[in-house]
Amino acid sequence: MQALSVKNLSKKYANGQVALKGIDLEVSEGDFFALLGQNGAGKSTTIGIISSLINKTAGQITVFGHDMDTHLDAAKLCLGVVPQEMNFNPFEKIADVVINQAGYYGIPRKIAEKRMEHYFKKLGIWEKHKQAGLRLSGGMKRRLLIARALINQPKLLILDEPTAGVDIELRHMLWQYLRELNEQGTTIILTTHYLEEAEHLCKNVAIIDHGEIIENTNMKELIARLDSQTMILDLDKPPISHLMLPDYHARMVDETTMEIKIHKTQSLNILFNELTQKGFNVTGIRNKTNRLEELFMELIAANKKSST
């Protein structure tokens, strides 16, 4: 079953600005789906329309079979949305923020209280449940938004930049929790500027640019298209003279750090053997940038070139 079906979705503002140009999206039940794009590409507009916060100009949206034009209430019951902005009353106790949200769905207070406690404990903010939102750190506010979005136990959870501005430890904790939710059956749509986040979490991906979908595919298949990767190698000692590697594009970043571009047809083992023969050992290796980030930038650049 399709969790989300978007057909010919368009948005044109009164000032003539076109935000979306007839996009199509299909997200299957149980998917972990990434919607990626640069600032202003149309991600937030798309999410705003799906969550009924922005009016569309044209197109059709169904959520688990419920048409949002004719059965909006049924569609919204299936949805949970974690916005990019902190849009809750900062003077309200955070427990009440979530319990009051449950009231919009007709959830009895006793059930809402139990769910609130469950999600607060899972997200590590239970000890703060009697505090006002303004007293929370940025990371805890993010967790509060997730708990609020989950209070109606949505079948489709949409997260707009959920880890923006949080530290690495919290980001990885949230990654693990989102994986658990997805494994338990929740369909998730994620937008993020941390492309390593999308690569680690998501099964499928769509890339939007200037209001158009320019790529919509399986994450593994997309990554497999990457022709080359730029790697950073740490060497055990500095070269005495210029280190010649004629089969590679390489340069020394500092005395013992090499940046090297490796084509997918080239073997790291062969490169390491060549360095060993020249008297060097590799003590560390890492990607200069995330693989999806490299490919993302290539696709955006190609789309820009084709549209000019």
Instruction: State how far the Cα of 172 lies from the Cα of 200, in Å rounded to an integer.
Output: 11
What structural domains and CATH numbers belong to the chain? 2-224 (3.40.50.300), 228-292 (3.30.70.1560)
pTM for the model: 0.82
Mind spelling out the 3-state secondary structure of 246-307?
A: CCCEEEEEECCEEEEEEECCCCHHHHHHHHHHCCCCEEEEEECCCHHHHHHHHHHHHHHHHC
Residues 6+ apart with CB under 8 A from 169: none
Indicate whether 150 pLDDT > 70.
yes
Instruction: State how far the Cα of 171 lies from the Cα of 138, in Å rounded to an integer.
Output: 12
Is the separation of the CB atoms in 105 and 155 below 8 Å? no
Residue 271 has a pLDDT of: 86
Confidence of residue 289 (pLDDT cuts 50, 70, 90): low
Residue 168 has a pLDDT of: 81
Lookup: tokens for 101: 């949200």
Confidence of residue 10 (pLDDT cuts 50, 70, 90): very high
In Å, what is the CA distance from 284 to each residue of 17, 167, 237?
A: 49, 25, 12
Closest C-alpha to 232, from 204, 248, 253: 253
Lookup: tokens for 274: 């060549």
